[in-house]
Amino acid sequence: MGLSDALAARFDVESHGSDVRTELVAGVTTFLAMSYIIVVNPTILSNAIRIEGYSQGEVIQMIAIATVLSSAVATLVMAFYANRPFGLAPGLGLNAFFAFTVVLGLGVRWQTALAAVFVEGVLFMLLTAIGAREYVIRLFPEPVKRSVGAGIGLFLLFIGLQELQVVVNDDATLVALGNVFANPWAILGVLGLVFTFVLWARNVTGAIIVGVLTTALAGWALTLGGVFARGTVTPESLPAAQYDITPLAGAFVDGLSGIDPLTFVLVVFTFFFVDFFDTAGTLIGVSQFGDFLDDDGDLPDMDRPLMADAVGTTFGAVLGTSTVTTYIESSTGVEEGGRTGLTALVVGVLFLLSLAAIPVVAAIPAYASFIALIVVGVMMLQGLVEVDWTDPAWAVSAGLTVTVMPFAYSIADGLAAGIVAFPLIKVAIGEADDVALGQYVIAALLAAYYVLSTAGYIL
Give the three-class secondary structure for 1.
coil
- DSSP classification of residue 78: I
How many angstroms separate the CA atoms of 336 and 82, rounded? 20
pLDDT of residue 232: 59
Residue 143 — φ and ψ, nearest 5°?
Answer: -60, -30
How many angstroms separate the CA atoms of 234 and 217, rounded? 10
pLDDT of residue 235: 62
State the Cα torsion 28-34-38-40 to the nearest 10°.
150
Is the distance from CB of 354 to CB of 65 less than 8 angstroms? Answer: no
Q: Which long-range contacts (CB under 8 A, 24 or more apart) does 399-405 make?
A: 399/147, 401/143, 401/144, 401/147, 401/148, 401/151, 402/147, 402/150, 402/151, 402/154, 403/151, 403/154, 404/151, 405/151, 405/152, 405/154, 405/155, 405/281
pLDDT of residue 238: 56
Task: Write b or e for each residue in 380-397: b if 16 or more Cβ atoms lie within 10 A of its Cβ, otherwise e.
Answer: beebbebbeeebebbbbb
User: What radius of gyration, in Å, describes the C-alpha atoms of the chain?
Assistant: 22
How many angstroms separate the CA atoms of 430 and 444, rounded? 19
Is the distance from CB of 146 to CB of 293 less than 8 angstroms? Answer: no
pLDDT of residue 208: 80
**DSSP string of 209-234, one letter each residue:** HHHHHHHHHHHHHHHHTTSS-TTS--
Question: End-to-end distance of the chain based on CA atoms, in angstroms?
Answer: 55
pLDDT of residue 254: 94
- Centre a 10 Å sphere on the Cβ of residue 214 and count the other Cβ atoms it contains: 17
Which residue type is seen at 277? F
How many angstroms separate the CA atoms of 161 and 190, rounded? 9
Is the distance from CB of 285 to CB of 148 less than 8 angstroms? Answer: yes
Cα diameter, the chain: 68
Distance, C-alpha 231 to centroid of its chain: 28
Is the distance from CB of 132 to CB of 380 less than 8 angstroms? Answer: no
Range list of H helices, 97-206? 110-129, 132-138, 142-163, 184-201
pLDDT of residue 231: 54
pLDDT of residue 239: 54
Query: Closest Cα partner for 94 from 434, 325, 372?
Result: 325
- Partnered with residue 88 across adjacent β-strands are 326
pLDDT of residue 295: 84
**DSSP string of 123-151, one letter each residue:** HHHHHHHTTHHHHHHHTS-HHHHHHHHHH
pLDDT of residue 80: 97
pLDDT of residue 314: 97
pLDDT below 70 — which residues of the chain?
1, 205, 227-242, 358-364, 458-459
Is the distance from CB of 87 to CB of 36 less than 8 angstroms? Answer: no
Size of the chain in residues: 459
Query: Closest Cα partner for 306 from 324, 288, 333, 328?
Result: 324
Contacts of 303 (CB under 8 A, 6+ apart): 128, 129, 131, 133, 134
- Partnered with residue 249 across adjacent β-strands are none
How many angstroms separate the CA atoms of 441 and 447, rounded? 10
pLDDT tens digits, one per residue of 62-119: 998 999 999 999 999 999 999 999 999 998 778 878 888 789 888 899 999 999 999 9
Is the distance from CB of 164 to CB of 374 less than 8 angstroms? Answer: yes
Query: Closest Cα partner for 309 from 135, 131, 76?
Result: 76
- DSSP classification of residue 166: S
